[in-house]
A and B are shown apart, each in its own frame.
Chain A
Amino acid sequence: MTQPQSHSQPADTQWPRWEVFKQDAQGRPHQAVGSVHAGDPQHALLTARNVFVRRPAAVSLWCVLESDILTATPEELTTNPALLGTPGETGTYHVGVKRTNKRSMTFVDLSGTVQATGSGDALRQAQIMHPEVLAWMVFPETVVVRTDEDPGTVESWFAPAKDKTYKQQQHYGVIGRHVGELKRAGLMPGRAPSEDSA
Chain B
Amino acid sequence: MTTGTQALTDTQTQALLLKLTVLADDEIVVAHRNGEWTGHAPILEEDIALANIAQDELGHAGLYLTLAQNLGGSDPDQVAFWRGPDDYLNTRLVELPKGDWAFTMIRQFLYDTYEALWLEAATRSTYAPLAEIAAKAAREEKFHLQHTALWAERLALGTPESERRTQAALTELWPHAAQLFQPTHGEAELTAAGILPDLNAVHVRWTDLVTRHLTEKCGLTLPATPDAQPGRDTHTEHLAPLLEEMQSVAREYPTAEVW
Could you list which residues of chain A lie within 8 angstroms of chain B, going by C-beta atoms?
14-15, 36-40, 42-43, 46-47, 49-51, 54, 152, 155-157, 159-160, 163, 173-178
Complex interface: chain B residues within 8 A of A51 (CB)? 45, 48-49
Once the chains bind, are A173 and B140 in contact (CB under 8 Å)?
no
B182 CB within 8 Å of chain A: no
With contacts A36-B45, A43-B154 known, is A156 near B142, CB below 8 A? yes
CA distance A155 to B139 in the complex (A): 6
B176 CB within 8 Å of chain A: no
B55 to chain A minimum Cβ distance, whole angstroms, is 9
Contact of B258 among A40, A46, A156, A177 (CB under 8 A): A177
B256 CB within 8 Å of chain A: yes
CA distance A178 to B140 in the complex (A): 32
Chain B interface size band reads: 20 to 34
Once the chains bind, are A39 and B154 in contact (CB under 8 Å)?
yes
Instruction: State the total of A-B contacts with C-beta under 8 angstroms.
Output: 62
Please name 13 further chain A to chain B contacts, defined as beta carbons within 8 Å, in addition to the given A37-B44, A49-B143, A176-B257, sorted by A numbering. A14-B43, A37-B45, A46-B49, A50-B48, A50-B52, A50-B53, A51-B49, A54-B52, A156-B142, A160-B143, A174-B259, A175-B256, A176-B256
Once the chains bind, are B52 and A175 in contact (CB under 8 Å)?
no
Could you list which residues of chain B lie within 8 angstroms of chain A, going by C-beta atoms?
43-46, 48-49, 52-53, 56, 136, 139-140, 142-143, 146-147, 150, 154, 249, 253, 256-259
18 pairs, A vs B, C-beta closer than 8 Å: A14-B43, A36-B45, A43-B150, A46-B147, A50-B52, A50-B147, A152-B142, A159-B139, A160-B139, A160-B143, A173-B259, A174-B258, A174-B259, A175-B249, A175-B253, A175-B256, A176-B253, A176-B258
CA distance A163 to B53 in the complex (A): 16
Once the chains bind, are B143 and A157 in contact (CB under 8 Å)?
yes
A151 to chain B minimum Cβ distance, whole angstroms, is 11
A130 to chain B minimum Cβ distance, whole angstroms, is 31
